[in-house]
Amino acid sequence: MKRKLFNKILVANRGEIAIRVMRACRELGIATAAVYSDADRNAIHVRYADEAHHIGAAPPTESYLQLERIVKVAHDCGADAIHPGYGFLSEKPAFPDACEAVGIRFIGPPASAMRALSSKVAARKLAVAHGVPVTPGSGAVDPSTALAAAHAIGFPVMVKPSGGGGGIGMKVVESEHELVATIESSAQAARSAFGDPTVYLERYIRKPRHIEIQVICDTHGNAVHLGERECSIQRRHQKIMEETPSPVVTAELRAAMGEAAIRAVKAAGYVNAGTVEFIFNEGEFYFLEVNARLQVEHPITEAVTGIDIVKEQIRVAAGLELSFAQADVAWRGHAIEMRINAEDPLRKFMPNPKRISRWVAPAGPGVRVDSGFGPGSDVPPNYDSLVAKLIVYGGDRAEAIARAGRALREFVVVGPATTISYHRAILENPDFRSGNLSTRFIDDHPNLVEQARKLATDVSPFDYGPDPRHVAAAAAAVAAVVSR
């Protein structure tokens, strides 16, 4: 007899990830409940769900971060599970605790695993204890102990907050003269952002790759990895483009990294989907951290493995075994994801929240667009600037790059400025095409902005608005008549 999953899942998030989870639920025959703030009253994820519940004002602290309020809504509407998506409350141990207290299943790792991995200092110790390589580093430091630790590691060093992420508080120190002031400012940034001023040191590797391994574990002792994602294209420590497989990862290296990732998460008692992040340099990989949630870039792994990660999350949370074993996982082709943000790359990536007046998403073979926006949607200023994830798949890397360029050329977003042209510039860069990547790729290629400026004048054939080329020609003709 087939075991029932859930009757209703509340999705405690917004935008594209809320819709992504709801699509999986719909295919599994599970009802969905959405939550929304004042800013999202007319959002697509609200209309997509079977029911929707208002949870507060636009600021996240008054809505999507209101843990008790969200759990109460789930309980009152009869949801038997909550999916947190990513961001917001997704990595807060108090969330699964609160769900358990009222008999609601949390679709994610247990609170104990979150706590074991939420401190990067503690996670490093756990990794070392289980044979997972880490970069030379320290435990928690303060201005009085940092100098000795830095000399033991060797300059340059990276000062990193133990809690939180997103590059907040991370700073490179080249010499001892900068160290104390940097420790103090990083600790203050960490206190403000995460409520935890603890910082530690790691040896700074100047041009590493950022490579992560997708894992998923069930409650029956099974733990499987789904291979790597190359996430080296970053701006200010924030990923903007990911691909799989990595241009430098061999089958042997993939197996070694996968085994190390599984050791790390099993040591923490991990269950459900998660990602183990590594830095890679000169053939060696080093543990960085564990993201105890679904990642933004999970669709490219789905593309090359054929495994629906969100459905597996739901199955695991319902107590079922994984539907596949490690031997069943095969990687075919190549996939790239581009994060399309409402930011203006020509104005130092200034956020550009506006109403979308025209929207045409690309289509065709091997193209997937995950988004919570469309024509007439308002991009609110209160949240992350992501408006769409463009995912492309090809038989190999060259085809995926060509398909990505074609899809970006077709994408129409009129209203807010976006990073579409900037992604096109990256794809056309010779170093990117040759796979010569590092986390300093953006810093090392400042000409990308100028190239994006040129590409921004290119008009999509699917843009039914006025063709700027025709408008410019008409303006020139009028000017010529006036000047006579």
Q: Which residues are catalytic?
A: 293
Residue 281 burial (C-beta neighbours within 10 Å; 0-12, 13-18, 19+): middle
Find all residues with CB under 8 Å of 286, minimum gap 6, and list them: 133, 134, 135, 278, 279, 280
| Cα–Cα distance measured from residue 484 to residue 479, given in angstroms and rounded to the nearest whole number | 9
Distance in angstroms (rounded) separating the CA atoms of residues 55 and 57:
7
Query: Which backbone phi and psi does 163 adopt, to 5 degrees?
Result: -110, 160
Torsions phi, psi for 83 (to 5 deg): -105, 125
Which amino acid, one-letter code, is at 437?
L
Dihedral sign for Cα 156, 161, 162, 165, please.
negative
Prior bond to 156 cis, omega within 30?
yes
> Residue 159: phi, psi to the nearest 5?
-90, 125
Q: How far is CA 200 from CA 159, 172, 174, in A?
A: 6, 12, 15
CA-based nearest residue to 201, from 286, 244, 120, 141: 141
Residue 95: CA count within 13 A, CB half-sphere: 29
Q: Which of 87, 110, 85, 88 is nearest to 99 (CA)?
A: 110
Could you write out the three-class secondary structure of 400-442?
Answer: HHHHHHHHHHHCEEECCCCCHHHHHHHHHCHHHHHCCCCCCHH
Q: Collapse the DSSP code of 2 into the 3-class scheme (helix H, G, I; strand E, B; otherwise coil) and give the result.
A: coil
Backbone φ/ψ region at 380: left (φ over 0), alpha (ψ -120 to 50), beta: beta
Residues 185, 108 contacting (CB under 8 angstroms): no
